Structure 1
Amino acid sequence: MKSALLFVLLSLVSFDIQSQTRRLPANGRPAIRSATPESRKPKSAAGTRASQVNLPIRRVILYSNGVAYIERRGIVSNHAEVSLSFKQSQVDDVLKSMVVLDLGKGRIGAVSYNSSAPPSSRMAEIPFAISAATDGNNGGGLAGVLSQLQGARVVVTTTNRTVIGSVLTVEGRHAQIDADKPPVTTHRLVIASDEGALTAFDLADVRTVQLADEGSRRDLSEFAHAAAAARRRDAKTIVVTSEGNGKRELVVSYIVAAPIWKTTYRVLLDPTGKPFFQGWAIVDNVSEEDWNGIELSLVSGTPVSFIQPIQNPVYRYRPVVPLQDDLNLKPQTYEPGEDSGGAGSLTGTITDASGGVIPGAAVTIMNDSTQQSFEVTTDSQGLYRAQNLPAGVYTINVSVTGFKKFTGTNLNVRPGTRSKYNPHLEAGSISEVVTVTAAEEDVTARQVSELPLQGRNYAGLLALNPGVGGGRGAGGGGRRETLSNLISRRESGVEAETTSSEVGDLFEYRIDQPVTVPRDRSALIPILQTRMEGERVSIFNENSQAHRPMSGMLLKNTSSLTLEDGSLTVIDGDSYAGEALLERLKPEEERLISYAVDLGTLVNVSSEDGDREPTFLVRAVNGVIEAHYYDTRKKVYTLVNQTDHPRVVYLEHPLDEDEEWELTDETEQPVTKTANHYRFRVSLEPHQKREFPVVERSEQIDSYQLSGFTRRELELFIARKYVDENTRAALEVIIALKDKVAGAEARLQEVSKEVGEITQDQQRLRENIRAMSGTSIGSAKDSSDLAGAEAKKLIARYFVKANEQETRLEQLEKDRRLLVDEHSRLQAELGSAIRGLSLDRKLK
């Protein structure tokens, strides 16, 4: 029955559908429709068609950050429409980077592309449906199509008559043609003519059914296009238009995602160890179009690139403001209570898993009972509002690019109330991180088209190459200017000169010969072949190999190219020697490369205990005497050449992380210093054994506080000859003053101690006097009483002693004040002597 369906699609539409649709040619390449489209001008008697011209890829620039610059060019004439087919994932990059140039006198028009809505949603808007796997049973096939066109005006043609009318119904009948076989279902089409006559046709006798009304024809045509789009779900067509007269060259360029290009190298060592260097680039053509004789460039570096979803329509939330009611024209209404019926509202904030709000999300709220739906969009704060909702139970669906679709059920909306519901969305299987970087000012297509072209190499406008210098035409025939160079010429109004192939950290490998890479194929392309400076060496690092160094080479990049990261295979003589990884190497830069273990050289490492060297500097700084000296440590590398050939060994000695240790003068200086190692070059004759010591030292300081400097320390300084006679005398004065200060402090302590003892004794006397005054004297009535008399004597004695102590306290206070003054004076003299000490003595 699939053939019956094809018959329907071919027979139901009598007008030429192909005149209203644009399709790619059989070879899959984009085509140009020259001449005015038939849908926009009256058809001539001959029914002219637009010629189709390929717009092939002429230039490709691959970047190491995963994008490709594609440049197409071709000859067009008159009005031109270029249809370019892209994968859905490529459209965002194309839309934000496409540049279109008409190098004749043409004018670039609009760049259009088909809707981003899925084919299923487009087909759902058409008032009938046809399954690709339908058959003649159960309302399928031609009968099923006609049954969905009930009421449509048709022209039915059989072998002997033609009838015009409206479709009423399609009836099915079961006929028993063969008793040994099951019944066969036949269908009859019933139409009503304008005169009211009913006519029935056996569908087996019908040759054509022509749709007479424009609406039905349009629905069928749109269904066919949607079905074709659904068959190739990942395809999207972008149409570029250009208006003009005569033949002229059209250029279209854009950026798309592409596999990064890789580098791999080979080094061939001759008998003397001199390297011959080869560099190769691996490129992948994963597009659906062959690269035939293109101009290929490879750009290293990491320019900023990002994906921004701009192909899909974006709507912003706008508040719904109802018209103001005129209270004089209609009765007022009042909001109902919670249980009295009426409308409610649903609002909330849509966030992601981290709590960030999500603007621009599509929210659909459906009533579970009536299936009535309401659609809103979240605003810049992620807020959605659905008002005037009939009371009931609702289901909410939230969808937005980059997140899983969210569905919430059993949401109760009560009359006269505002319900809240805050959905939280989860990221989908693909997450994208967006980095915005200020871009350079764009030159519009209108500005380019208005540039004077007389006497100008206008073909250079084609070579749009962001950030890279000029290139070579794919068809040979000399150098041409890039688009960026041509736009920056003086005639264009922008003055800039950029002709170098290296811009900052970007570097271009320009392939001088045309390159051909079929689609879904990869290629290994030579980018460098030259002799370079270098030599065979061995490389020893104690942390990598305990006793055997690595065989390698010292390579100097004497070419003009920057060598990108890549694998390196070494061929020594006529045999395989090993492999290595080469990090980025700029011109004139040297690099050690190791590719095998050197079994002909033995290295043993031993460490010796450190020692303290004599003090070399004594100085006084801020009241502190510093004695500077070095601690040393030593490591000895014992190298043995076990072969009959000379050896050059590079020793990598670890560099102290804190840089506290430095090489001594007795150690041979390294040929270079890296971030983590000293690198020494050691030459070995055949069967030679050699010790290579590496001695390091670290500066240390012994500190002596002058405020606590003792005579014993002075005697030590004199014995070690740290000080001369003048400094010795100054130190003697400091020590004497320090002793006087200590004596004054001792006397002050004695005074303070005696004052404390007197104070404590006076407290005892006061307590005794208070106790005796409150008992004996207070209760005595007769002055001749013996107990009272004794108490008076004792109290009088206490008063006498207290008076003597007060006199002593007064004297002690005078002494304390004198001692404090003396201590302050001595302390000031000591500080002045310390500050006045000048000592900066270098020792042998």
Structure 2
Amino acid sequence: MKRVLLFALVCLFSLQPQAQTRHKRSASAARPTALRSAPAASGASQSSLPIRRVILYSNGVAYIERRGVVHNHAEVALSFKQSQVDDVLKSMVVLDLGKGRIGAVSYNSSAPASARLAEIPFAIAAATEGNNGGLAGVLSQLQGARVTVVTASRTVTGSVLNVETRHSQVDSNTPPITTNRLVIASDNGALTAFDLAEVRSIQLVDEGSRRDLAEFAHAAASARRRDAKTIVVTSDGGGERELIVSYTIAAPIWKTTYRVLLDETGKPFFQGWAIVDNVSEEDWNGVDLSLVSGTPVSFIQPIQNPVYRYRPVVPLKEDLNLKPQTYEPGEGGSGAGSLMGTLKDPNGAVVVGANVTLTNATTNQSFEITTDSDGVYRAQNLPPGTYTLNASSPGFKNLTVTSLNVRPGLRSKFNANLEVGTVSEVVTVTASGENSVTIDGTDANDLSTTSRNYSTMALLMPGASGGGGGGRNRESLSNLVSRRESGVEESTTASEIGDLFQYHIDQPVTVPRDRSALIPILQTRMEGERISIYRSTEDSGSEGVAYAHRPMSGMLLKNTSPLTLEDGSLTVIDGDAYAGEALLERLKPAEERLISFAVDLGTLINVRDDDTEPQPVFQVRAINGVLQTHFYNLRRKVYTLINQTDRDRIVYVEHPRSEDNEWELTEGTPAPAEKTANHYRFRVTLPAHQKLEFPVSEKDEQWETYQLTNFTRDQLQFFIARKYIDDKTRAALETIIALKDKVAAASLRLQLIDKEAAEIAQDQARLRENIKALTSTAEAKQLIARYVSKANEQEPRLEQLEAERRTTIADRARFQGQLDLAIRSLSSDRILK
């Protein structure tokens, strides 16, 4: 049915009466912003700008530069994917190197085709579905439009009244026949019916109807390719001149991979390759290619979609009286905003318990809420900005609403209806760009060389040719590259761009679209040597160790090139055979790096830990009322290396360092070749068929602390016996201990005085209670007199105890002061032999 519709549209556009030609207005005059709709009317020349320069960044961005020659008034149409338009609009630079003037840069609307078709006064469904589809369906929606109908026998002009559908059947054995008849009203009032099967052409006379059909056709065509976007660059000027257009778009990151060829002496010949992917829809023919490492700041900002500002709706007063008006706050408000609304189903009933998620488009912060019993959701204290609303509820399609603006200090409102369906279906309410589609190029893993024969792979290199068989006189790869006969010519210039590093490929590069390429960036002989590297399996950083007693074969590589080598895989060819693979981390010029690529089965290493005792005290310090004795704890690890081959070995032993770096190497341990963050790296020369023990001892300084206020005579005797202190310190400590004893004696005397005074006070309290209890008899009077006499005898003793207490307190304070002074005055630092 859609094919019938397309045929009908072609007929309507192609046949136009000559009598109406002078009344037409061109599409460009009706729509001046559509720069490509009528190039003949404006005198513009369509020009193309080929890609001349490409810069790929390691953060997934590509800089594209186009150059070309344009003439007079030029229009350059550039096609992009929907997902690329935001980056292009954000970064595009246009330069006219002649005397031209850059005009507008336009692009087609970002509104979805469904929204554009909704503005056209007839529907696609009515024109393509049902029994009255095709041409009849189109004409039935053009009631009142003036048309010219041409048949084999007549031509009639009039207004469309209706399209009749008739069903007839000759007999019951034949299927019914359906015919459509167009009824038009002529200017003289005559009504004429035409069988559409007999009509040769129908010409729309009204300009408005022709324009509506043109919009319909354009929107329908756009709907077929929703990911296409055309940006038109215009330049006004005269004569021939050069035009430059540059922009950035998302692109696959470029990758590096390396080859190392070791000769008989272990000297490395180095090759570096870059893997680039052209996933665009245009070939790169002879482009100037650069590869930049680093991570410049880059982001995506949705600027292609129309954005509307919030304006309050002020209703008209019904009585139209001039009364004071109140208005909502403007955009100058401050603080957080809020958003609320009601969710309903197609029947108008509220949706209770729907999940609503609001996501800030800038910060990506999300807020989750649920509709209440009235179907209302409320989000308070929202940071101002643009939000995306997602609403979901069982039995309904998921609803997505973009570009909801929350203004500072304002309360926004948005109501929506949920459509019946499954939760996997999504309804987009507002216009939004298509989802980004990432097209992966050739993956580096597809370029694995582990299963290839390197003698055969060499024939794949440019300029390489096969030899005449596999005789013993065939030269190895390492000999060939040493004479610069590999046929691979690198032509790369290195430069620094701020904190970034750039590889510039000096020769033009061609990469067809949807293809990837290996591009040589480096070929040179570097400094290095063949080594073995050992790291114990007990080491926390030894996850990749395959054999507990075997080191790894590797090399010490020094980057003698001017290039910074990016991270990448590295394949090693030793002599004329595949030796293994490794990973190379970023290596700057003049920097050295250990690289391992295989297990060294010709070297055996055993490790043992020797028990050690705590070492003697080597330092005694007295300061700030503290006496410290310093000593070392030792630990010792012995590496036993056995060379089982007839060739000398250079072995790098990586000994783990403590996490807190408190353990340090002892004086008897050889100095390491270098230190890393986690290891001491020792270089050991191991002769052929020899066994060698390599001990590594470490010490950790410890100390014990003694508070001088608690120092005892037994501890003093211990220090004297061990000869930890000299005579001066000994005399000072003896004075401190003596003063401590005096302070202690005074404190004890105070305790005894207080105890005796408390006993007398308790006895006097008992006597007073007894006196109160006695009567006035003669015997009682005698007993009272005895109690009073005893109390009088105790009073002088209380006075004596109080005097002794005051004297003892003064003595203790004096002794304590002398003790504090003696402790503060003691300061010594003695190194023991």
TM range (shorter): 0.7 to 0.9
Query: Which of 584, 587, 590 is 1:585 aligned to?
Result: 587
Change (3 A) 1:503 1:759: farther
**Between the two proteins, what is the percent identity of the paired residues?**
69
Q: Partner of 1:512 in structure 2? A: 506
Deviations 1:378-405 (A, max 9, x none): 5325965569xxxxxx85469xxxx997
Q: 2:441 is matched with which residue?
A: none
Q: Distance in 1 between matches of 2:716 and 2:390?
A: 92
In structure 2, how many angstroms separate the alpha carbons of the residues matched to 1:361 and 1:39? 43
Aligned partner of 1:807 in structure 2 is 796
- Looking at structure 2, the residues matched to 726 and 648 of structure 1 have their Cα atoms a distance apart, in angstroms, of 56
The equivalent residue for 2:117 is 123
Distance 1:328 1:270, change over 3 A: closer
Match of residue 530, structure 1, among 524, 530, 534: 524
1:750 paired residue number: 752
Give the corresponding residue for 1:817. Answer: 806
Report the CA distance between 1:67 and its aligned residue.
1.1
Q: CA–CA distance in 2 between the matches of 1:111 and 1:665?
A: 74
Alignment of 1:719-734 (within 5 A): 719-734=721-736
Closer/same/farther in 2, CA of residues 319 and 696 from structure 1, 3 Å limit: same
What is the match of residue 571 of structure 1?
A: 573
- Residue by residue over 1:509-547, the C-alpha shift from the partner in whole angstroms, topping out at 9 and shown as x without a partner, is 111111111111111111111111111111111133421
What's 1:103 paired with? 97
- Determine whether 1:296 maps to 2:309: no
Query: After superposition, what is the alpha-carbon deviation per residue over 1:290-317, rounded to whole angstroms, capped at 9, x for unaligned?
Result: 1111111111111111111111111222
- TM-superposition CA deviations, 1:22-67 (whole Å, max 9, x none): 9xxxxxxxx9979x93455xxxxxxxx7543321111111111111
Q: Is the 8 A contact 1:610 1:633 kept in 2?
A: yes
In structure 1, the gaps of 5 or more residues are 23-30, 41-48, 331-344, 366-374, 388-393, 409-427, 433-478, 480-498, 778-787
Q: Which moved more, 1:65-74 or 1:354-363?
A: 354-363
Deviation at 1:650, TM superposition (A): 0.8
Alpha-carbon distance in structure 2 between the residues aligned to 1:555 and 1:203: 84
2:5 corresponding residue in structure 1: 5
Question: 1:669-700: per-residue Cα shift (whole Å, max 9, x none)?
Answer: 11111111111111100011111111111111
Q: 2:309 aligns with which of 306, 316, 322?
A: 316
* TM-aligned CA deviation for residue 811 of structure 1: 0.6
Match of 2:705 among 698, 703, 707: 703
- Shift of the 760–429 alpha-carbon distance from structure 1 to 2, 3 Å rule, reads farther
Give distance in 2, aligned partners of 1:289 and 1:20: 30
Inter-CA distance 189–382: structure 2 relative to 1 (3 Å threshold): farther
| Residues 351 and 382, structure 1, Cα contact 8 Å, conserved in 2 | no
1:463-511 per-residue CA deviation (whole Å, 9 max, x = no partner) reads xxxxxxxxxxxxxxxx9xxxxxxxxxxxxxxxxxxx9821343111111
1:364/1:736 CA distance change after superposition, 3 Å: closer
1:565 is displaced (CA, Å) by 1.1
Distance 2:821 2:682 in 1: 53
Do the aligned partners of 2:51 and 2:65 also contact (CA within 8 Å) in 1? yes
- Structure 2 residue aligned with 1:832: 821
Aligned equivalents of 2:680 and 2:390: distance in 1?
A: 68
Larger deviation, residues 170-179 vs 188-197: 170-179
Residue 76 of structure 2 contacts residue 232 of structure 2 at CA under 8 Å; is this kept in 1?
Answer: yes
What is the TM-score with the length of structure 2 in the denominator?
A: 0.77
Change (3 A) 1:262 1:385: closer
CA contact (8 A) 1:32 1:54 kept: no
Shift of 1:567: 1.1
**Counterpart residue identity of residue 602, structure 2:** G
Q: Within the alignment, does 1:842 sit opposite 2:831 as a pair? A: yes
What SS does structure 1 have at the residue aligned with 2:99?
coil
Are 2:70 and 2:243, in contact at CA under 8 Å, matched by a contact in 1?
yes
Tell me: CA distance 1:504–1:719, structure 2 relative to 1, closer, same or farther (3 Å).
farther
Q: Which residue of 2 aligns with 1:75?
A: 69
CA distance in 1 between counterparts of 2:287 and 2:514 reads 16
C-alpha contact (below 8 Å) 2:126/2:137 kept by paired residues: no
* Whole-angstrom CA distance in 1 between matches of 2:5 and 2:739: 120
C-alpha contact (below 8 Å) 1:351/1:358 kept by paired residues: no
Q: SS in structure 1 opposite 2:179?
A: strand
Whichever residue aligns with residue 799 of structure 1, its letter is V
Partner of 1:607, secondary structure, is strand
Report the secondary structure of 1:12's partner residue.
Answer: helix
Cα deviation, 1:266-292, whole Å, max 9, x if unaligned, reads 111111111111111111111111111
Other-structure match for 1:467: none
Superposed displacement of residue 172, structure 1: 3.2
Number of residue pairs aligned between Structure 1 and Structure 2: 697
Do the aligned residues in 2 keep the contact of 1:32 with 1:55 (CA within 8 Å)? no
CA RMSD of aligned residues (A): 3.6
Q: Which residue matches 2:560? A: 558
Give the superposition deviation at 1:21: 8.2
Match of 1:88 among 76, 82, 86: 82
- Range that drifts further, 731-740 or 587-596: 731-740
Alpha-carbon shift at residue 730 of structure 1 (Å): 2.4
The unaligned stretches of length 5 or more in structure 2 are: 324-338, 343-355, 360-365, 369-381, 392-401, 439-490
* Residue in structure 1 matching 2:367, options 350, 354, 361: 354
The 8 Å contact of residues 59 and 70 in structure 1, kept in 2 or not, is answered as: yes
Confirm whether residue 284 of structure 1 aligns to residue 277 of structure 2. Answer: yes
Q: Which amino acid aligns with 1:667?
A: T
- Whether contact under 8 Å (2:35, 2:232) holds in the other structure is no
Question: Shift in Å at residue 634 of structure 1?
Answer: 0.8
After superposition, the Cα gap between the structure-2 partners of 1:613 and 1:659, relative to the gap in structure 1 and judged at 3 Å, is same
**TM-score, reference length from structure 1:** 0.76
Q: 1:367-406 to 2 correspondence within 5 Å?
A: 378-380=405-407, 396=417
Q: 1-side partners of 2:195 and 2:507: how far apart?
A: 68
Pairing 1:641-790 to 2, within 5 Å after superposition = 641-772=643-774, 776-777=775-776, 788-790=777-779
Distance 1:189 1:116 in 2: 38
Structure 2 CA distance, aligned partners of 1:294 and 1:91?
22
CA contact (8 A) 2:5 2:127 kept: no
How big is the shift at 1:362?
Answer: 9.0
Q: Distance in 1 between matches of 2:559 and 2:820?
A: 65
Find the aligned partners of 2:552 and 2:498 in 1 and give their Cα distance.
35
Classify 1:707/1:129 alpha carbon distance in 2 versus 1 (closer, same or farther; 3 Å): closer
Q: Distance in 1 between matches of 2:817 and 2:195?
A: 130
In structure 1, C-alpha distance between the alignment counterparts of 2:726 and 2:3, rounded to whole Å? 118
- Aligned mates of 1:686, 1:86 — CA distance in 2: 65
Distance in 1 (CA, whole Å) between partners of 2:44 and 2:174 is: 54
- Deviation of 1:740 (Å): 2.0
Q: Which residue of 2 aligns with 1:260?
A: 253
With over 3 angstroms needed to count, the CA separation of the structure-2 counterparts of 1:96 and 1:525, relative to structure 1, is same
Per-residue deviation at 1:548? 1.0
CA distance in 2, matches of 1:9, 1:431: 33
Q: Secondary structure at the match of 2:587?
A: coil
> Compared with structure 1, are the counterparts of its residues 170 and 407 closer, same or farther at alpha carbon in structure 2 (3 Å cutoff)?
closer
Counterpart residue number, 2:624 = 622
